[in-house]
Amino acid sequence: MHAPALGPASWAPVAAALQGRGAEALTARYTVGDPPSYERAAAKIAAHVSDAGWTTVLHSGAGALAPSIAEACDASFIFVDAILPHSGQSWLETAPPALASRLGRLCVGGRLPPWNAWFEQDPIASLGADPATQVSLRQELPSLPLAWFALKAPAAPGWPNVTRCAYLQPA
What is the value of pTM for the model shown? 0.89
Helix pair angle (12-20, 131-140), 10° resolution: 130
**Residue 140 phi/psi, 5° resolution?**
-90, -10
pLDDT tens digits, residue range 17-42? Answer: 999 999 989 888 899 988 999 989 98
Triad 44, 49, 51: Cα angle to 5°: 115
User: Per-domain residue ranges for the chain?
Assistant: 8-168
Q: Does residue 110 register a pLDDT over 90?
A: yes
The Cα-based distances of 76 to 25, 50, 53, 119, 159 in angstroms read 15, 10, 9, 33, 12
Residue 92 pLDDT class (50, 70, 90 cuts) = very high
3-state class (DSSP) for residue 21:
coil
How confident is residue 128, by pLDDT bands cut at 50, 70 and 90?
Answer: confident
What are the pLDDT digits (tens) for 35-63?
Answer: 999 989 988 888 887 766 788 899 999 99
Mean pLDDT, rounded, for 130-151: 94
Give percent of the chain above pLDDT 70.
Answer: 96
The whole-number average pLDDT for the span 89-93 is: 93
Whether a cis peptide bond, with omega within 30° of 0, leads into 160 is: yes
The SS3 assignment for 111 reads: strand
Q: Is the omega angle on the peptide bond into residue 85 within 30 degrees of 0, that is, cis?
A: no
Confidence of residue 79 (pLDDT cuts 50, 70, 90): very high
Q: Cβ contacts of residue 139 below 8 Å, gap of 6+? A: 7, 9
Does the pLDDT of residue 75 top 70, yes or no?
A: yes
